[in-house]
Amino acid sequence: MRDIKLIVSDIDGTLVDRTERIPPELTAAIQKCRDAGIVFALATGRTAELTEPFVRALGIDAPCVEANGAYILQGGRCLVEHGFSAAPIREILERADQLDMTITLADAQCERAVRETDYVRYHQSLGNRFQTLLPLSAIDWEADRFQKIMIMDEARSGNIQEIRDRLEPFSNQYWITTFSNKAVELGPKGCNKATGMKELAALLGVGLSQVMACGDYRNDLEMISGAGYGVAVDNALPEIKEAADYVASKPYALGVVEAIEALCFR
């Protein structure tokens, strides 16, 4: 049994598949950790509204790293945040809007869309996102700060490449990630799940050698490598498995449960 005091886990592809179903084994394992004094927290690219249902369903009361390390929330209260100005890329956002793309801007309180699109209307119907809009004309370009911006080409017209090319010169100011031919996201430079994990551990007074981090995808790599015990679930990418200290034989949440039992209770 290792001296693990904090478990940090990615959500998508690690705790859940596309169904987002949470197996009872995971809930039981988290409770077992809680009873043993081990903190279980999340480190996700999701924004506050999309993380909250998992926080609630899993009974997590610890601070969680959200928006790829841009902020840490606990009970709706922001403990750490790294905001950025969208002023340098104003013309790019205006161009994306002219191309009828979906643009969303998130801070630690909420995620807003520039205008209604099919994607926005769908998520509005679910009740937990985009309940208010933020037109580009309403942004205070000098004062407003965001933690994450997404630009999406729902039609997959190929125009996302133009936006990505226009953003490239700003890669020294923001982290920029492209998702296939559909979307691009950006956030504060220097922030990722690994930096969020370090800030979370410091808040809790836990050394990184006492942290177990679980993930499956490329944006988990630095977190997996930086934790005392990196865990890859069975469905993880080969490079994540290569970096991990423990590779689970099971996928998704059951792999996390397997790792908890193997590393925390044996």
Instruction: List, for residues 106-132, the tens digit of each pLDDT value.
Output: 998 899 999 999 999 998 998 878 989
CA dihedral 22, 24, 29, 33 (to 10 degrees): 80
Sign of CA dihedral 222, 53, 263, 250: negative
Burial level of 168, CB count in 10 A (0-12/13-18/19+)?
Answer: exposed
Tell me, what's the pLDDT at 180?
A: 77
Provide CATH 3.40.50.1000 ranges for the chain.
6-81+191-264
Pick the CATH number of 6-81+191-264 from 3.40.50.1000, 3.30.1950.10, 3.30.870.10, 2.160.10.10: 3.40.50.1000
Confidence of residue 1 (pLDDT cuts 50, 70, 90): low
Q: Are strands 148-152 and 102-106 parallel, antiparallel or unpaired?
A: antiparallel
**CATH number for the domain formed by residue range(s) 87-188:** 3.30.1240.10
- Cα–Cα distances (Å) from 217 to 71, 150, 238, in that order, read 20, 19, 9
Which of 24, 33, 16, 13 is closest to 259 using CA atoms?
A: 33
pTM value? Answer: 0.90
Residue 54, both tokens: 């998992």
pLDDT tens per residue, range 195-214:
999 999 999 999 999 999 99
Greatest pairwise CA separation for the chain in angstroms: 58
Provide CATH 3.30.1240.10 ranges for the chain.
87-188
Pick 34 or 1 by higher pLDDT: 34
